[in-house]
Amino acid sequence: MFQWFSGLLTSIKEFLFQKQMEVAVIGLQNAGKSTLVQAISEGRPVPEALLPTIGYNVKSIKKGGLSIKVWDCGGQQQLRPQWVQYCSEASCILYVVDSSMLDLEESLRELRTIVAHPQLAEIPLLVLGNKNDLDPHLSVGQLVAQLSLKSITGREVACYSISAKEARNMDSVINFLIKHAERRRPSANSASGASPSTPPSPLVTPAPAKAPPRRPE
Ligand SMILES: Nc1nc2c(ncn2[C@@H]2O[C@H](COP(=O)(O)OP(=O)(O)O)[C@@H](O)[C@H]2O)c(=O)[nH]1
Ligand SMILES: [Mg+2]
Give pLDDT, residue 204: 28
Question: Is 59 inside a domain boundary?
Answer: no
35 lines ligand 1 (CB under 6 A): yes
pLDDT at position 16 is 58
- 49: Cβ contacts below 8 Å, ≥ 6 apart: none
- With a cut of 80, say whether residue 202 has pLDDT above it: no
The DSSP result for 14-60, as a single string, is HHHH-EEEEEEEE-STTSSHHHHHHHHHHSS---SPPPPPSSEEEEE
Residue 38 lies in a domain: yes
State the total domains in the chain.
Answer: 1
Position in ligand 1 atom list of the atom nearest CA 37 = 15
Domain membership flag for residue 200: no
> How big is the chain, counted in residues?
217
Cα(10) to ligand 1 centroid in Å equals 36
Say if strands 92-98 and 56-63 run parallel, antiparallel, or are unpaired.
Answer: unpaired
Residue 208 has pLDDT above 70, yes or no: no
Angle between helix axes 33-42 and 170-179 (nearest 10 degrees) is: 80
Per the domain annotation, does 202 fall within a domain? no
Helix-then-strand count for the chain, H and E: 6, 6
| 18 falls within a domain | no
Cα 80 to middle of ligand 1, angstroms: 18
Q: What is the pLDDT of residue 212?
A: 41
- Starting at the edge strand found earlier in the chain, the sheet holding 19-26 runs 56-63, 66-73, 19-26, 92-98, 125-130, 157-161
Say if 32 falls within a structural domain.
yes
pLDDT band at 215 (very low <50, low <70, confident <90, very high): low
pLDDT confidence band for 149 (50 / 70 / 90): very high
Q: Is residue 199 part of a domain?
A: no
* pLDDT digit string, tens, across residues 12-46: 665 555 788 999 999 999 999 999 999 999 999 99
Cut 0.85: pTM above it: no
pLDDT at 162: 98
Q: What percent of the chain has pLDDT over 70?
A: 76
What mean pLDDT, rounded, does the chain reach?
83
Residue at 58 is within a domain:
no
Across 99-118, average pLDDT: 97
Question: Which protein residues have a CB closer than 5 Å to ligand 2 (ion)?
Answer: 33-34, 53
Q: pLDDT at residue 139 above 50? A: yes
What value does the mean pLDDT take over residues 47-65?
88
Identify each DSSP E strand in the chain by its residue range.
19-26, 56-63, 66-73, 92-98, 125-130, 157-161
- Range(s) of the domain holding residue 152: 23-53+69-191
More confident residue, 182 or 193: 182
Domain of 80, CATH number, reads 3.40.50.300
CA distance 209 to 171: 35
